[in-house]
Amino acid sequence: LSLKFGDIGNLKGLVIRLLLTTSYYQLSVQSWFSLLRLQLLYNHSVQATFNATGIRAPATHSFHCEHVSSLHRYDALLVPSSENDLSHLWEVTFVDFQIQGFNVQEGHFAHARDCASFFSPAILMGLVMSLVLLLVLAYALHMLIHLKSLDRHYECKASPAYFAQMKDSDMGDEKEPLRNSGNESYELRNQQFGKIYI
């Protein structure tokens, strides 16, 4: 795939050539295309060659990436093929890059496979925080399961109630017979509260 700039100012004669290939993978049971190399040609001579890493997608899909660049701050998906050529003098960056090598229908891109790594720093941080919260939850459940009721250790063991003995001489004064339907019962006149020790 060649991108020619035509007669655009200083870019006249500059061509960006993308070398694509397709392969069939039995594991995924489908064909994938990949970008092997990117070449910069100026006036029909190769100025720089970059090897592409990780730019691949199923043949029925397109590939999309926010930045495809030779710069390290953009993950450097384009790597100079050799230190002997002039590749290290060039800095190449594509912004909002999308490519589809095969099976293009009606001039539109198919569904895109994005270059964003599944384990991005944000996702890794979320996984670590989830693991920490799960450990805290497991510890809390462990503590709840092994929590023992206070009744088992601190049962109220009451000693027998102790009532002060009443004098026999006072019994006559304190009892007053009640007459109620022929049954004999007594009522205490001076009620004395007994002491209960626990």
Name the pLDDT band for 2 (thresholds 50, 70, 90).
Answer: confident
Q: What is the pLDDT of residue 162?
A: 54
Q: Does pLDDT of 129 surpass 80? A: yes
The secondary structure of 125-193 as a DSSP string is HHHHHHHHHHHHHHHHHHHHHTPPPHHHHS---PPPP--PPPPHHHHHHHEEEEEETTEEEEEESS--P
Residue 124's H or E segment, with its range, is: helix 121-145
Instruction: Say what percent of the chain tops pLDDT 90.
Output: 8
Q: What is the pLDDT of residue 150?
A: 57
Query: Within 13 Å and on the Cβ side, how many CA atoms surround 67?
Result: 11
Q: Does pLDDT of 136 surpass 70? A: yes
d(CA 69, CA 41): 17
Domain segments of the chain as ranges: 2-116, 117-155
Name the pLDDT band for 167 (thresholds 50, 70, 90).
Answer: low
**Helix-strand-coil split of the chain, %, nearest 5:** 25, 35, 40
Q: What is the pLDDT of residues 57-78, one digit of tens each?
A: 888 888 888 888 888 888 778 8
Residue (of 83, 87, 84) closest to 40 by Cα position: 87
Mean pLDDT of 160-178: 53
Write the CA distances from 186 to 110, 125, 166, 175, 192, integer angstroms: 105, 83, 15, 6, 15
